[in-house]
Amino acid sequence: MKLNATRLVFAGPVLILSSLIPALLPSQTPAASLSGKVTNPSGQVVSSAKVTVRNLETGQSAETRSNPDGVYTFPNLAPGAYELSVSAEAFAAKTSQVTLATQQQVMDLILSPIPAPLKALPNAPSATPASPSLGDLGFTPQQSQPNAQLQVLLDKRTEMLKIHQRLGLITTIPMAAALITGPMATAKGKNGQPITEPTTANLDFHAALGGATTALYFTSAYYAIRAPRVPGTEKHGAIRLHEALAFIHLPGMVLTPALGIMAYKQENAGEKVHGIASAHGAVAYTTAAAYGASIIAVSWPIHWKFWEK
């Protein structure tokens, strides 16, 4: 059975994209629950401990107290990231983060008694009335106050950029292969030579590699573009060059497949590649060069002696 090349060109990217689509869509949110037991380090239950849970995305919070068995329960919570705080008399308050999935989650909490002042080491630091405190140093609240929402935003940003980075690296594989197979695929009728043998297999393979490169590239680009911006941050350093190079390789990744389809049709029609389609190779090489430079830019400065400790 002869493989339909046009189908192959489009089937690869469509398959890759369709496998990624569920990850990009907002999911339904069935309820989750969180429960656990509050104890001291010896395992004795701590009753009447105040337990608060706060959704880090919406800011909504709920509060409960541990029962005589030390058990606390939060039913019907939306899945997501939460800040869980617990406090009880004579114990140090404790805050931790928990990410809830759709099922019941158990998180036991161990409270430490409020410690006596440090005195183990001869030079050990300790807080005395005359000791300087953080308030003495004159930091602004903006500098010194926690911002849980910003942390959630940074977490999301990092997660998306990690995916961007991994997909970006994977993209280099079909991209390099497409560059290697390109000259073979376009050899038919090149420079006015007569068509001596069918090169359909090469051409189809090259087209499939190009399609896979395009799909991976735009999926990777999606994660970079949609990664949340951090307010008040002025970009500097290598990331600026990395982003500036996208102004070359992004249009290049639109043009290259468009010109490739034209060249593909001309080749299949037995024609010598002509007109604007003949720029396909040059555009592809320029795009790949800019893409490679953008990876090097964000990796700079490269520690060449990386094998040394």
Partner 1 sequence: MKKIFLLALLLAAPPVFAQLDTQWVIEQSTLTYHMSHPMHQVDGVSRDAKGKGVCHAEECDFLIATPVKSFDSGDTNRDLHMIEATRGAQFPMVVVRTRFPVGDTASATIYADLEVQFAGQTAHYAHVPFQRATQGNQVRLTGTILATCSDFKIDRPSFLTVPIKNEIPVRVDITWRPM
Binding site for partner 1 (CB under 8 A): 118, 121-128, 130-134, 136-139, 143-148, 150-151, 153-155, 157-158, 161-162, 165-166, 169, 230, 233-239, 242, 298-299, 301-303, 306-307
Of 111, 113, 141, 130, the residue nearest 49 (C-alpha): 111
Shortest distance (Å) from residue 142 CB to partner 1: 9
- For the record, the structure tokens of 308 come out as 């040394």
Burial of residue 283, with CB atoms counted within 10 A of its CB: 0-12 exposed, 13-18 middle, 19 or more buried: buried
In this structure, the strands spanning 32-39 and 104-106 are: parallel
Shortest distance (Å) from residue 135 CB to partner 1: 10
In this complex, which beta carbon is closest to partner 1, that of residue 147 or of residue 193? 147
Shortest distance (Å) from residue 107 CB to partner 1: 17
In this complex, which beta carbon is closest to partner 1, that of residue 248 or of residue 298? 298
Question: Which uninterrupted H or E stretch holds 82?
Answer: strand 80-87
Rounded CA gap, 100 and 29, in Å? 11
Three-class DSSP labels, 89-124: CCECCEEEEEEECCCEEECCEECCECCCCCCCCCCC
Per DSSP, 131 falls in state S
Of 117, 13, 34, the residue nearest 82 (C-alpha): 34
Q: Are 253 and 171 in contact (CB under 8 A)?
A: no
Which residues, in sequence order, are bridge partners of residue 61? Answer: 54
Shortest distance (Å) from residue 119 CB to partner 1: 11
Shortest distance (Å) from residue 219 CB to partner 1: 17
In this complex, which beta carbon is closest to partner 1, that of residue 56 or of residue 263? 56
In this complex, which beta carbon is closest to partner 1, that of residue 116 or of residue 134? 134
Per DSSP, 45 falls in state B
In this complex, which beta carbon is closest to partner 1, that of residue 2 or of residue 119? 119
In this complex, which beta carbon is closest to partner 1, that of residue 126 or of residue 193? 126
In this structure, the strands spanning 71-77 and 32-39 are: antiparallel
In this complex, which beta carbon is closest to partner 1, that of residue 8 or of residue 298? 298
Rounded CA gap, 44 and 228, in Å? 44
Shortest distance (Å) from residue 13 CB to partner 1: 24
Shortest distance (Å) from residue 120 CB to partner 1: 9
